[in-house]
Amino acid sequence: MILTVTLNTALDITYRVRALRPHASHRVSEVTERPGGKGLNVARVLATLGHEVTVTGFAGGATGRVLQEQLTGIPGVVDVLVPVTGATRRTIAVVDEHTGDTTQLNEPGPTVTPAEWSAFQEAYEVLLTSASAVALCGSLPPGVPVGAYAGLVRAAKAAGVPVLLDTSGEALRRGVAARPDLIKPNAEELAELTGAHEPLHATQDARRRGARAVVASLGTEGLLAATPDGRWRATPQTRLRGNPTGAGDAAVAGLLSGLVERLPWPDRLARAAALSAASVLAPVAGEFDRGAYEELLGRVAVTGEATAA
C-alpha cells in the first residue's frame, strides 16, 4: 500500500469559460468537482496506474463531507482522513478555453487544533506499519506547526518507509533537514530553498541540505534529477497544451510508483515526465490522458549518467 498525506485537502472546482477577461461577467460552459489537494491528486493517478493507495490528512465541515463522499467512488483509494471541526477548503480553477491558461484561487483551509494534530500523528504512525512508501504533499493548514513535515519524515524513516516530500517555503526547508528520501520541487520552490537559480547547482545544493535525492520539475523542459545513483534529465519530445494544474502531482505519482516497483532511475523519470505531460490533456488535476501517456512514454528523452561505483 502507498500512503499519501494531504494535510490541507480541498474540494477542487474547475470552471471552463470561452475567454477569461478581468472585470467582466462570464458564462461557464462546464463545471467539474473533484476531491483535491496535492496528495489526493497523486493518489488518483496512482490508483489509475493500478496501485492500492491509502489517503490521510484532514477533512471537515460540509465541504469535507462532499469530498469524502466522492472519494468512495474512486477504485483503489482508501479514505483514512482525520476529522476536524473546521471546514475543508475549496480551490477554484478557471480555464480559459481560448488560450488554455488556468487561473487558480486557493482558500487557506481550516484551523487545526492541537488535539486534532495529535490525533492525526497517531493515525499516521499506525498507517506507516503497512505502507510501502509515503508521500507528504502540499501546504500546511492553519494551526499545524511549520515543522510538521520534518516530524512526519522522521517518523517514516524510523518505520523504514521511503518518504517523498512535495511542499514549499519554510515547510520544505525544515522538512529537507529531516533527510527525506526524495523531494520534488518546481524551479521556483528549488530556488527559494537554495538561493540558486541554476537548476543543476540548486539540485546539488538541496542534496547537501539533507534530501537523499532531488527531482526538480522544470515545466516544458521536463525533469532534472540528482540522486545517489547519478544525474539525469528527462524531457518529453512533444509539448502539449492544456490545463497544467496537477502536472507536478502526476510526476510525483510516477516517481512513487517507480520507487515501489524498483525501476531504475531513468525509467522512473521517463514515467514521471510522460505522466506529467499527459496530465495537461485531462480536464482536472489527478487525471491523465492514457493514450497520450502511452505514446509519450517511449518518446521521453532521458540523458545523463550513473555515478561510478
Active site residues: 249
What is the Cα–Cα distance from 76 to 228, expressed in whole angstroms? Answer: 32
Buried b (16+ CB within 10 A) or exposed e, 83-107: ebebbbbbbebbbbeeeeebeeeee
What is the Cα–Cα distance from 248 to 244, expressed in whole angstroms? Answer: 8
Helix (H, G, I), strand (E, B) or coil at 139: coil
Nearest to 186 by CA among 217, 212, 208: 217
Packing angle between helix 265-279 and helix 290-297, nearest 10 degrees? 140
Please, is 300 exposed, middle or buried when counting C-beta atoms within 10 Å of its C-beta (0-12, 13-18, 19+)? buried
Nearest to 97 by CA among 11, 15, 13: 15
What is the Cα–Cα distance from 272 to 265, expressed in whole angstroms? Answer: 10
Would you give the DSSP letter of residue 184? -
Packing angle between helix 148-158 and helix 169-177, nearest 10 degrees? 30
